[in-house]
Every structure is written in C-alpha cells, then in structure tokens.
Structure 1
Amino acid sequence: AAIQVHDIGLQVLKNADDEVGFKVLVGGGLGRSPAIGVVIKDFLPAKHLLTYLEAILRVYNRYGRRDNKYKARIKILVKAWTAEVFAAKVEQEWLQEIDSPSTLTDDVIAHAKDFFTSPAYESVDVEHAEVTLQKLAAEQVAFAKWRDRNVVAHKVSGYCAVHLSLKPTGVAPGDVTDSQLEAIADLADRYSFSEVRVTHHQNLVLGDVKLSDLPELWQAAKQLGFATPSIGTLVDMICCPGGDFCSLANAKSIPVAEAIQRRFDDLDYLYDLGDIKLNISGCMNACGHHHVGNIGILGVDKKGEEFYQIQLGGSALDDASLGKVLGPSFYADEIPDVLERILSIYVDQRIEGETFLDTHRRIGTAPFKEYIYAKAA
C-alpha cells in the first residue's frame, strides 16, 4: 500500500496483549518534494482511530501552508517542525477529544466487520490438487512459470490468489478494454466468489481461487492475454498515462514503457534479474511513483524537447527510500540501452541472493554512474 509515501499512513498490528491497533505515519509524499513518512504513534488502539486522524487534520488545518498551494501538504509542515514537534501537537489536540462521540465502540467496529464476511470456502483435497498441478507444471513449462510468478499463497488451505497481468507488450500498462472487463468479471464469477481487486501496480488479483481450479483458470487467462508470467519483473512496471493523455505531463511515458518491454522480452533473463520495481512518470507530479522505483524514470521538458531522467535505489516497501538521480537525462530512444547497461552493472556486481535494490544499497550509485556516462561520452 506504499504507506510511507502518503500524507498519512496506517499499519495494522497487534500489541503484546493481542489488541488490534495501528502504527501511524505522517509526512510522506511524492511529487515535487518527495518525502518518506515518519512514525508519530507506535501503537494506536483501533477505537481511537477516527479521533486521532481528526487531531492530525486539525493540526494541519490550523498550521499548514494554506498561502502556497505548492506547500499545502502535511509533509511540508512535518519537515518545518520536525516529527517530534508535530507528534506533540497532535497528541495535545487528540487528548482534548479522545473520548468524543467519534470514538469507535466495540459495536461500531463489529458492525463494520459485518460488511467484510469471508467467502464460503470449500474443502479442497490439497494433496490431490498438488499432484495434478505438479504434473501439469512438468508437462507445460509455461504453466510452471505462471504459477511461480503470478500465483501467491493463501491463508486458507486449498486456496491461492492469482494475479492477472495487464502488461502485454504494445498496450499501455494497466489498460483493458470494455470487453476485457466483461471477461474479467466472468473470471471472478467463476473462480473467485465474484470478487476482483485492482493493485497499484496496475494489475488485477483474483483473491480466492481454489488450487484445483488453477489449470482451467490459466487456460482462460492465457486466451484473454492475462497470463503473462512476469509479475514482479522489470517489465511489470508502473507507468502513468504521460503526454499521450495527460495535460500536466512534460513527456510521454507509454512509448518508453513499450520500448523497454520490447527490449527485455526474454523471460529467462528477467527471471535471472529477479524482482525489480521499474516506475515511470511523465512529470514531477509522480503519478507513476518514480521516486520509489528501484529504477525510476522521470520525463522532463527541456526547451520543448522530451528527455528522461533516471533514478536508482527507491523502494515503497517497509524499507522505503527515495531514489537518487543518476545524472544528466537521456533521449527516449536511449533509455533501453541505458537500462541494459545499468542491469549489466548489477549482474556483474551482485552477490548470491541479492536483489537489484540490495546491490545498489551495497555499492551505491557511483559505479552505475561511472559506467553509464563513460559509455555515453
């Protein structure tokens, strides 16, 4: 959910007494002044969620930069005050309203839970299903790759969650047609209790699929073009609409994404590279989350020409970090070559078990920069 790069982030957890509550972060954000959120409350009991959020908003409304739309964000106030001062102000405000009518009673929480009932899970012969799946994987390499990349474990025995990949080469990442949406609805009805979820990675998830249904679902997804086994790889990118559709964009994003997909179309090479988050934005508003991509690409305008700046080392996970600019920007047609050189440094420098992000954090940006710009010179 990228909770560390939003104005307010909430992480559900339990304390030592098994009580459900939230860790509260504030001051995150991307755009023209990116920032990683900071923790102001390690554990907030669930019943106090609304009153505490109201306290945050009241502090911001009272002291935030309403005089400047570019600075009218919680992150600007947190940076100006420090996290400690902001937290103290919120705490002071909250204590005045801690037991107000906005406090969530057990009955209110129970009533909300009633809207999120578990599906009617069936008993699944897991052993028999696994035998069938392993036999199919041995016969069909494509199925084996799909299950490894696009299928994830479920807390209910005999079930799994399945990613429908919306990243076919030649189509804007995340785009689907009206007829495809109808087909996706049919898949949800048949295999996942009529429920489908959209991820911020621009894919879809069928959250409750029986293991025994995987072969049939794979065939159906493959026919519809949703079974590309590339989830989590370099080409499973986040990409904003860019200059093709957005009036705020400085440069096009979708053609760059397609050029990358066409260059890096060898699945074995992508699997060898491992998980890499590549995010592309067409302007500094960062709708493509380029700041927190392991590799981020930002479209910029220079005297009417489109260029692309590359950042390395970002992450939106628990170890959130902002990418660092590699150096001067590049023309669009240079991007696939530049990425290839970046990845060659990673492959040469990585040690066993390291992801791209691990390697970058260990060796820093300098080796990448030296190689890229020496080659370009």
Structure 2
Amino acid sequence: MYKYDQYDHLIVRERIAQYRDQVRRRLANELTEEEFLPLRLQNGLYMQRHAYMLRIAVPYGMLNAKQMRMFAHIARKYDRGYGHFTTRQNIQFNWIDLEDTPDILADLASVEMHAIQTSGNCIRNTTTDEFAGVAADELIDPRPYCEILRQWSTFHPEFIALPRKFKVAINGAIEDRAAVQVHDIGLHVVKNEAGEIGFRVLVGGGLGRTPIIGSVIREFLPREHMLTYIEAIMRVYNQYGRRDNKYKARIKILLKALGVEEFTRQVEQEWLDLKDGPQTLTDAELNRILAFFEPPQYKALDDRDVVAAQPGNRAFANWVNRNVRPHKVPGYAAVVLSLKKTGIAPGDATAGQMDFVADLADRYSFGELRVTHEQNLVLADVEQSKLFELWQEVKAQGLATPNIGLLTDIISCPGGDFCSLANAKSIPIAVAIAERFDDIDFQHDIGEIELNISGCINACGHHHVGNIGVLGVDKDGSEWYQVSIGGAQGNNAALGKIIGPSFSAAQMPEVIGRLLQVYVDHRIEGERFVDTAQRLGIGPFKEFVYATPIHVGKAVVGEDTYA
C-alpha cells in the first residue's frame, strides 16, 4: 500500500498546525461558529445531533494493522469505545470533543492518515473494489489509479470549492464491485480490441434526492489520460454546475439539463486543451505508484477443499460459503469479517475488535486489511490451510456471522440516533429486522438479498440500490419508513421503485416478511429476490403487503396507519 513521502508529511503537518490554531480561536470565541464551520468541515469534523463527529479518510478502503490500532486508540481515548465504518470505506467517531480534535489529527498523522476531503464541496475519498489486487476476474489492480487520483485531487486549487461534494469510484474487474454507475464519475476498466487497458467513463450517477444511473460519455479512455479527462469533466462542472441551489448542484443535474450528447461535447472540447499536457500519466509516474502495490511474498501453495477437511462442521461450511471469496493466487482466499452481528448497529466495531482485527491482519494477511462499502472488513490474503483456525478466532469475537450477501448483511447509515440531517432512526430498524430473521437456515433459503436503510433523502445507506430499500421520512413530526424494491448495484445497476405509502417503525419487520413471502411464492429456480422483483414489478408485492392489517405484538395496526 502507499506510503507517505516528504511532501505528504509536510502537507499534513501544516494542516494540523493551522487547524490547531483555528480550534484555539474558536474555543476562545475569537471565531464564531459560522466562521469556524467551513474550517472544521475541511478537516472532517461535523456537528451531529449530540456531539461532534469526526470522519477519517481510509483511501480506497486500505488499512494496515498499525492504522487500525490507531482507530482503536482513538475509540478508547477520545470516543465511547467504538467507531462506525461507512459506505464510503471511511470510519466515523460520533462522540468527539472539539478540544481533542487537533490531538486526534496529530495521532492520525503519526500513522500516515488524515481527515482531509472527508467533507466539503471537494473530491471525496475515491472508492474501489474491496478485493482489488486479489480478485480472480480482475483486469488490473485499480488501487494505484485511486492513489494517483488522491494525490492529484488533494488541495487541487481548481476543485476545492466545487458546486457540491464530488464522488469517484474505480473498478478494475469484470464484475463491478465498486458501484461505479451511481457515482459522479465512475471509471470501469476495459480492454480495447488491441488489448490495451483503458477506462469506460461514466458521469452523472448518484443517489440522494435525485437518484440517477450514470451515463457513459466515453467507451474507451487510454489510462494515461485519466487525469486530463477527469479534469476536463471537472472544469465543465465547475463552470456550469449550479451554485444557487445545493439540491440542484450535483453534476447529475447539470448532465440532465445539458443532455448527455452536449455534456460530452463540452468535455471533449475542454479536453483538447489538456490532452497530452503535463498531467498525462507517464510510464515513470505510473510505475512509481505501482511499486507501492506490489503483491506480497505469496507461498507456492495448492488450492484445497477446506470444508471437506472439517467433515460435519456445518457452521464452518456456512461461513466458508458466505464469507470466504476466491483468490487469484492458488492456496489463498479473501475473508470477509462481518460487522453485522444481530443486535449490533451495522458497521460498528469496538476498540477491542479493532485491535483484534489488526492482530489478525499481522498474523494472517501480511499486515493489511480492507473496508468494504457494505460496511464490513476484509483480510485479503489468507492461506486456505489457516481458514479453520481463523474462523475459530473470529467467531469468538463476534465477527464470523455467516451472512455476507444475505438478508441480515444490512447496510445502514447512523440515522436519527446521531445525524442531525436524518428524518428517522436507521439503526433500530436494522436491528429489529435482523432480530426477526436471525435464522441462518432461513437466510440461506431466501438467498442473496441486499437490504439498505437510509435515515433521510441524502441516501448514505444507499437505499435506492438496495434489493429492498428503506428510507426514513418525516410525517407530521413522526418517523415513518418508505419501502422500495428492485434496486441493484453492480454491472446491472438499477434504482428501486417505491411500493406505496410509508410504514411505522413497528410495522417494518412484518413488511419485510411479507415482501419475502411474495418472493418465495413466485420465484423460479435459481432466481434471486431482485430478479423476481424486477420480473414481476411492484404490483404483487404491493398487493400482498397492504392487503391486511399488520399485527404488532398484541396490537393490530390497520390500513389507516399507513402514512
């Protein structure tokens, strides 16, 4: 993984010193909160419902063991003993005191981390496939390109005050595991007829208030032109993106207003002045960055059937089936550590678990680990012969729930328990649904299904692309939940469709149960929930969900309670 050079260290040190003085001035009332707000946001500090929240950048989801131990240290010393991993592959701490934040940033700098570009109208943390570098279907490792983009965009003078926040994802494999179609810019690695590597460029995707699937504006961009072409896109956006209305300021609104053809024409015209310029990626620069992502020293091993080696151990077999992924190197596997144990907020990890995972990384995975945008963790380089030993250890720490890709592998934002923007709580809904369906046999029978929950229209829980999406809404000061079905990420990304009026919190587990019943009644062999939902449309699901009153405990909630 990438290591800071002298310039990185200098930039971060200077930023911390600057910020430390800004905090001092705020605490002394030399700065008003209005004056301080943009300064703290530039350093990842938000004011939430109860306290400050600090969001720390985890570039393209990559961590080493030392950095994870630093997260554990921050959780213990400055927070309430835990942190929350987000859908942007970052981590948030929700109970931070303002006077501690300069020291936290200094602690982070000691392990080559920071909170820059985790907030504000700038290019945010670039995300990618959590199996980058080890996936069997990978064309190229996208992480070096993510790092190049990170270095280029950090403090880029033209793009530190964009019309709105800006998100980029890069996928290097055949299967899109980075959700490139729902980002402001999505880069999907492709090969042309000559076998050359380049990018399919998508623009204008995004969720939030106006969910849109991105449009392809270039089928093949030679990889050496990645930065110049992105700059051309950013220049068009920076010049014409709306600044009078933040709800209409994202690039997806501009692209829709101009039309794909005209937007593409303007980008290509702008690119003429940049193409082959000083920001063209030379072989020397690309090789410099590639050197940081050289594969570890793998052993010469053969693949083995780890389940057959533990006959009759159904629990282990379930875990291997759901949480272990193929590796491109024989004898190795990638392991997903579930942060979705029933009763726990999705994405939360305690300081003890963080220290434990750091130790696992050192002992099993060359000292590195990943954060997924599904809010789990990954050990990417585990010897297959050690999987049973690893499983026994992670099971004892509550990190071996065999539910990856299943119903209780719920994506959820912090919601109204923490976020001041939320209309409704997310975590209690996620916990209630997980408890209702906490039966691994049932989940395996239902099969792959993505359930995503957002507490407000900003869609931090990616509810639009959930096979089942849940959105918290405000109805006359009360918390209600709107349900959609048929959304999907990946190569066939799709936006879910709302099934009807919203539901109370107490109704939500039964609503999910009824949706699943329709699926079970109508699925054909081998068909996933999302396939059935897209094939049938919302009609049968809507009819069954609203057909009869919903029982909540001993009470009956009738149709008149649907908001």
TM-score (normalizing by structure 1): 0.97
| Secondary structure in 2 matching 1:92 | helix
2:424 aligned to which of 232, 236, 251: 251
CA distance in 2, matches of 1:354, 1:332: 29
2:494 and 2:516 mapped to 1: Cα distance? Answer: 20
Match of 2:520 among 347, 363, 372: 347
Question: Aligned residues: percent identity?
Answer: 62
Tell me if structure 1 keeps the 8 A contact 2:412–2:461: yes
Q: Of 239, 248, 259, which residue of structure 1 is paired with 2:412?
A: 239
The question of 1:212 aligning with 2:385 is answered yes
Q: Distance in 1 between matches of 2:544 and 2:307?
A: 45
| Residue matched to 1:31 | 208
How many residues end up aligned between the 2 structures?
373
CA deviation after TM superposition for structure 1 residue 64, in Å: 1.2
Corresponding residue to 2:543 among 365, 370, 374: 370
1:308-355 Cα deviation digits (max 9, x unpaired): 000111111111111111100000010000110110000000100111
Kept in 1: contact 2:302–2:330 (CA 8 A) = no
State how far apart, in whole Å, the 2-side matches of 1:34 and 1:125 are.
Answer: 45
2:309 aligns to what? 135
Unaligned residue ranges in structure 2 (runs of 5+): 1-177, 550-558
Following superposition, the deviation at residue 125 of structure 1 comes to 4.0
- Note if contact 1:124-1:212 (Cα within 8 Å) is conserved in structure 2: no
Unaligned runs of 5+ in 1: none
1:115 maps onto 2:292 in alignment: yes
Aligned to 2:221: 44
Q: Which amino acid aligns with 2:283?
A: D
Task: Tell me by how many angstroms 1:111 deviates.
Answer: 1.1
Cα distance in 1 between the residues matched to 2:512 and 2:236: 44
Report the CA distance between 1:69 and its aligned residue.
1.3
One-letter code aligned to 1:139:
G
Letter in 2 for 1:66: R
Alignment match of 2:272 (pick from 90, 95, 112): 95
Q: Distance in 2 between matches of 1:101 and 1:316?
A: 36
Tell me: CA distance 1:198–1:16, structure 2 relative to 1, closer, same or farther (3 Å): same
Match of 1:65 among 242, 262, 270: 242
Q: Contact conserved, 1:10 with 1:22, CA < 8 A, in 2?
A: yes
Distance 1:112 1:292 in 2: 33
Amino acid in the other structure paired with 2:242: R
Residue 135 of structure 1, CA deviation: 2.7
Please give the alpha-carbon distance, in whole angstroms, between the structure 2 residues aligned to 1:254 and 1:97: 46
Of 181, 184, 195, which residue of structure 1 is paired with 2:354? 181
Where do residues 173-322 of structure 1 align in structure 2 (5 Å cutoff)? 173-322=346-495
Match of 2:449, SS state, is: coil
TM-score (norm 2): 0.65
64-73 or 111-120, which deviates more: 64-73
Give the superposition deviation at 1:254.
0.5
- Aligned amino acid, residue 206 of structure 1: L
CA distance in 2, matches of 1:135, 1:153: 17
Partners in 1 of 2:244 and 2:458 — Cα distance?
Answer: 20
* Aligned counterparts of 2:449 and 2:388: Cα–Cα separation in 1: 27
2:307–2:320 contact (8 Å) kept in structure 1 = no
| Alpha-carbon displacement from aligned partner over 1:160-201 (angstroms, at most 9, x marks no partner) | 100000111111111011111000000000000011100010
Report SS of the residue matched to 1:328: coil
- CA RMSD of superposed structures (Å): 0.9
The residue that corresponds to 2:60 in the other structure is: none
Whole-angstrom distance in 2 between the partners of 1:13 and 1:193: 29
1:166 aligns with 2:343: no
Q: Cα distance, 1:139 vs. partner?
A: 2.5
Distance in 2 of aligned mates of 1:142 and 1:370: 37
User: Matches of 1:259 and 1:47 in 2, distance apart?
Assistant: 49
For 2:247, what is the secondary structure of its paired residue?
A: coil
